[in-house]
Amino acid sequence: MTELIEVPDAEGDWEPATELHPSGRNPARQASMFQSATWPLSTLALLSVDLEAVARRLKLTLESSWDGHGRMRAAFFVLDGTDFVVTHHEGDAPGTHVWTRKGGPVDPAARAGSLLAALGVGPEAVSYSVWGVGTNLRHIPAAWGRGKGKPRRSYQDLWANFRRSPELFVGRVNFRTVVAFLNGYDIASDKALLNGFREWLAAKLGYGWNLVYWVLAEKLIFPDGRPEEPWSPETEQHAVAGLIGLIDEYFDNLAGNAEECPKAV
């Protein structure tokens, strides 16, 4: 970001965002930093606009605080049904970092669109965004990572925690819930967790390259044939332990054969 975009002043009939009027014109309603301290936040965008200009436009009161990255100013507010936070850390390059509360049905681009409309600026004000339009995400703004934040949880750590206490992840532990969790996590991690596992199982069996991994695993866990359903608690426990053991064996195999990755035939 090299140049800040001008933000128009507030409309003449907009009341301060801290004041609640039944017929209020200001689209933003502010919440205090104290009220919103427990919000789980996710990054949304970096705007090439000054934080003071954002506060002036929406008639927000900027609050001062600090975190592990230094002193900062921020404002928490609700706009068009979305919880927003705008921040700027002392010493950072000019610009406004935008965060939203995690969850909710509205997609990131739509959330940002409502904010841009309220600010009276266009999409050219977006320097970086999580949805990637016009964004080179290889160059994340410093305030999003800053090199000192909480380390990202590795796939190895995730697996170690899951295999030790699967009930913390799936609630009722059985073969289906464990498979469902692994499938969801594998998709979320862009296939990083179980990449090659299905092919490894097929190679171990000597057949079944066209089968999904949990069916292949069942054939190895129950060599005498899959038990009839419903499974007893003991059978479920045996199946879960067997699947976890196979995944452990696969990871051990990868560790010992870093250059090898089974391919489908």
CA distance 26 to 14: 5
Task: Quick: pLDDT tens for 217-255.
Answer: 999 999 999 999 999 999 999 999 999 999 989 888 876
Residue 240 · residue 178 · CB < 8 Å: yes
Q: Is 255 exposed, middle or buried (0-12, 13-18, 19+ CB in 10 A)?
A: exposed
Instruction: Identify the pLDDT of residue 104.
Output: 55
Question: For position 119, what pLDDT does the model report?
Answer: 94
Which pTM does this prediction carry? 0.51
How far apart are alpha carbons 206 and 118 in whole angstroms?
Answer: 62
Alpha-carbon gap, residue 9 to 53, rounded angstroms: 8
| Residue 92: predicted pLDDT | 84
Alpha-carbon distance of 243 to 106, in angstroms, equals 37
Which pLDDT does position 125 carry in this prediction?
87
Task: Write the Ramachandran bin of 121: left for phi over 0, alpha for psi from -120 to 50, otherwise beta.
Answer: beta
* Residue 101 CA to its chain's centroid (Å): 11
Give the pLDDT confidence score for residue 150 in this predicted structure: 39
Q: Which pLDDT score is estimated for 226?
A: 94
For the beta carbon of residue 156, count every other beta carbon within 10 angstroms.
10
Residue reference for tokens 């499974």: 231
Instruction: Measure the N-to-C terminal CA separation of the chain; round to a whole number of Å.
Output: 49
* Alpha carbon separation from 196 to 200, 247, 250 (Å, rounded): 6, 11, 9
Residues of the chain with pLDDT under 50: 1-2, 133-153, 258-265
Cα 41–chain centre separation: 10
Rounded distance between C-alpha atoms, residue 209 and residue 84, angstroms: 48
Q: In what helix (H) or strand (E) does residue 82 lie, and over which residues does it extend?
A: strand 82-89
- Give the integer Cα–Cα distance in Å for 230 and 220: 19
For residue 258, the model assigns a pLDDT of 46
Closest CA to 87 of 102, 100, 72: 72
Alpha-carbon Rg of the chain, whole angstroms? 25
| pLDDT for the residue numbered 37 | 64
